[in-house]
Amino acid sequence: MSLQVGIIGLGMIGQDHLRRLTHTLSDVSVVAVADIDRKRAASIAPAGAELCDTPHALIRSQKVQAVVICSWGPAHEEQLLECIAVGKPVFCEKPMVTSEEGALRVMDAEVAFGRRLVQVGFMRRFDADYRALKAVIDDGSLGLPLIYRSVHRNASVPEGLYTSEMPLNDTLVHDADISRWLLNDEIAGVEVRFPRRSRQGGELRDPTIVLLHMVSGAIVDVEISVNIEYGYDIRGEVSCETGVAALPNRPATVISDRYGIRQAIPADFRERFIEAYDQEFREWIAAASQGTAAGPSVWDGYAATLVADAALRAAQSGRREAVSMKPKAGLYAETSR
């Protein structure tokens, strides 16, 4: 029988996930939707799906067995807590929550429930290129990882909506999570530097350099640029003791024309990570059908939240700011790796 899912938030990524849940993936059907913009929800709801007035009504609906949260970050905590209260598996887009206190409330609720219910939307972990890179690091043939360079370039961001804090509390969470996962490490400290400002972004503080100091001593050097115009360019390279392992520069269509022979660059994350999002939901559907969750956990969402907070502090202080995590509950022993 297929998993009956309700989606909260039908903006850009909510619509993309709705498409994959209705047209690409199997063993799942979207039976309910909710959005504070009711008109938007009504115009997008698949035939036969219940149009719920509130996220509360969707989460409590008898038809809904599992929930997908694609609302704005500040709304996630309340919606996650409600899913946990009724024991329904839930996929939640990043950022899991927007404060350390919020992350601890969600963690306490899930630990008290006694079983994992939450998967956080860190889709890079499901990408074939990142999985191949991790396999090389994990097999140890290049020795220990020492330095990881993570390049995160967006073509553009919505003017006025994407603020100068967002490279640090919205975009960086992906680099922070993938660094912990790739290097099998935790983040102990964060530094932030601002190079010359790009004229592409107007008043926006862009680009941003972040150094993540790992517990092992390895250092991750993150470039976040959000107005590079030419496409969505994601790169990663790990320097180890006896060799270097890097993501392939994503092959795309090869175009031959009067400018020469060139490879197209993905336009945005929906294109670059299309298979990763599909796989993230395949694995979510499999776990949610068993009443639980796998993949990136509340622990990982908590870690990313602490890193975002430390990065915001580091941007102010100009110094290295510490990340200090609570002891990991047994429920999360198998995650992050």
Q: Which residues bind ligand ISE (CB under 6 A)?
A: 94, 154, 170-171, 174, 269
Candidates 3, 5, 7, 8; binder of ligand NAD (CB under 6 A) is: 8
Contacted entry of ligand ISE, ligand NAD, none for residue 154, CB cut-off 5 to 8 Å set by kind: ligand ISE
CB-CB contact of 253 with 263 (8 Å): yes
Q: Kindly state the smallest distance separating residue 74's Cβ from ligand NAD, in Å.
A: 8
User: Mapped to the 3 state alphabet, what secondary structure does the chain carry?
Assistant: CCEEEEEECCCHHHHHHHHHHHHHCCCEEEEEEECCCHHHHHHHCCCCCEECCCHHHHHHCCCCCEEEECCCHHHHHHHHHHHHHCCCCEEECCCCCCCHHHHHHHHHHHHHHCCCCEEECCHHHHCHHHHHHHHHHHHCCCCCEEEEEEEEECCCCCCCCCCCCHHHHHHHHHHHHHHHHHHCCCEEEEEEECCCCCHHHCCCCCCEEEEEEECCCCEEEEEEECCCCCCCEEEEEEEECCCEEECCCCCCCEEEECCEEEECCCCCHHHHCHHHHHHHHHHHHHHHHCCCCCCCCHHHHHHHHHHHHHHHHHHHHCCCEECCCCCCCHHHCCCCC
Candidates 6, 55, 102, 189; binder of ligand NAD (CB under 6 A) is: 55
Contacted entry of ligand NAD, ligand ISE, none for residue 171, CB cut-off 5 to 8 Å set by kind: ligand ISE
Candidates 42, 72, 135, 143; binder of ligand NAD (CB under 6 A) is: 72
- Size of the residue set binding ligand NAD (CB under 6 A): 24
- Quick check: 121 binds ligand NAD (CB under 6 A)? yes
Contacted entry of ligand ISE, ligand NAD, none for residue 188, CB cut-off 5 to 8 Å set by kind: none
Cβ nearer to ligand ISE, comparing 48 with 158: 158
Candidates 37, 101, 203, 229; binder of ligand NAD (CB under 6 A) is: 37
Q: Are strands 208-214 and 187-193 parallel, antiparallel or unpaired?
A: antiparallel
CB atoms within 10 A of CB 230: 9
- Quick check: 57 binds ligand NAD (CB under 6 A)? no
Q: Kindly state the smallest distance separating residue 26's Cβ from ligand ISE, in Å.
A: 25
Contacted entry of ligand NAD, ligand ISE, none for residue 9, CB cut-off 5 to 8 Å set by kind: ligand NAD
- Quick check: 83 binds ligand NAD (CB under 6 A)? no
- Quick check: 35 binds ligand NAD (CB under 6 A)? yes
Q: Distance (Å, rounded) from C-alpha 302 to C-alpha 121?
A: 13
Binders of ligand NAD among residues 145 to 204 (CB under 6 A) are 170
- Quick check: 36 binds ligand NAD (CB under 6 A)? yes
Q: Which residues contact 174 (CB under 8 A, 6 or more apart)?
A: 94, 122, 124, 152
Binding mask 280-319 for ligand NAD (x = CB under 6 A): ----------------------------------------
Listed ranges 36-44, 99-107, 299-307, 312-320: which one lies at the site for ligand NAD (CB under 6 A)? 36-44
Contacted entry of ligand ISE, ligand NAD, none for residue 73, CB cut-off 5 to 8 Å set by kind: ligand NAD
Cβ nearer to ligand ISE, comparing 55 with 121: 121
The amino acid present at 327, given as its one-letter code, is P
Candidates 94, 134, 152, 250; binder of ligand NAD (CB under 6 A) is: 94
Q: Distance (Å, rounded) from C-alpha 299 to C-alpha 284?
A: 17
The pair of structure tokens assigned to 285 is 């559907």
Cβ nearer to ligand NAD, comparing 42 with 329: 42
Binding site for ligand NAD (CB under 6 A): 8-14, 34-37, 40, 55, 70-73, 75, 93-94, 121, 123, 170, 269
